[in-house]
Amino acid sequence: MQGARESRGEGEREAQLDELREALGRTPPQIPCKYLYDDRGSALFEQITQQPEYYPTRTERGLLRAEAGAILSAAGRVEEVIELGSGAASKIIPLLHRILGQGRVPRYLAVDISARALARTRQILSAEPGVEPLLLRADFAGELALPPRPASGSRMAVLLGGTLGNDEDREAVALFANLRRQLEPGDSVLVGANLLADPAVIEAAYNDAAGVTAAFNKNVLNVVNRLAGSRFDPEDFSHRAIWNGIDRRVEMWLMAHRAVQVDLGDLGGTLRLARGEGLRTEISRRFTRTQLEALLLRGGFLPAGWFGSDDGRFGLALGRAATVH
């Protein structure tokens, strides 16, 4: 998102302004979580994954390392891996190594909204001879223009990092359905999801002692200011991440620690918040296996495999593209 005014088309900027305008007009006001990931936000998120409190990345990486062979056996002859929201792409390497070990050259397509994340992907994969990387800067929640499929074998779309948890059921099903339209029967999707765990452990993961998540959260205000010409002052807000046991999700907020009136610039109008009121910037849901497989089914994928961590905190669900009648 960084430099959105200069590097993005005016039509896309207007769509972003419309999205932000609608979200900030909700009760409570919100900022869509994709705006957390400008170049600085992506760099901060990489730091978050290295914090001792943040278990999801370590757990998922270990699970992929342990189960890569079983995943690919269940998926069939995969020739192309499409990673949606690739970040720095470090977790996908065990799958790519396994395909290389089978004597095939995998094509890898990384899709991410952050130019910095894609640059890191290129850097990481430059050390992986045999992998054919393609990079696509895009919001994967929208319509994707995928390159022509490989001449043989199948495609596997991969959505890791618990990204699905940022969506409500409706958006998750729409994402799967959109993806299914671009795949063929026999193609597959692999989804990583955070599972229900001790709420204290979950909350700690989003409130690291070093304050990296707080900096990550507050940076979204700089992103909005740059895009919309608004006048949010990050110092007027404090990071807060809480476990919502009713909806079984973590919620990240920016709480005003004084009464504020924010000029919204090109968004139009003024946002008024009393002391203690806030903006919601992200949800991160926790699932059960049954929930996750039901969402896949509603989106056009038949459950084809389940791989869970030993501690029960993370799961990988494999879905196979169903035949469309």
How many domains does the chain divide into? Answer: 1
How far is Cα 104 from Cα 325, in angstroms, rounded to an integer? Answer: 32
The rounded distance, in Å, linking the Cα atoms of 179 and 321 is 9
At 260, give phi and psi (nearest 5°).
-130, 150
Q: For residue 76, give the CATH number of its domain.
A: 3.40.50.150
pLDDT tens string, the chain, 325 residues long: the values are: 223 223 346 788 999 999 999 999 999 999 999 999 998 998 999 999 999 999 999 999 999 999 999 999 999 999 999 999 876 677 888 999 998 888 888 889 988 888 888 888 888 888 777 787 888 888 887 777 788 888 788 999 999 988 899 999 999 999 999 999 889 999 999 999 999 999 999 999 999 999 999 999 999 999 999 999 999 999 999 999 999 999 999 999 999 999 999 999 999 999 999 999 999 999 999 999 999 999 999 999 999 999 999 999 999 999 999 886 6
Which tokens belong to 178? 């959109």
Angle at 232 between CA 227 and CA 233, to 5 degrees: 130
Helix (H) or strand (E) holding 194: strand 188-194
Domain span at residue 50 reads: 1-325
What global pTM score does this model have?
0.90
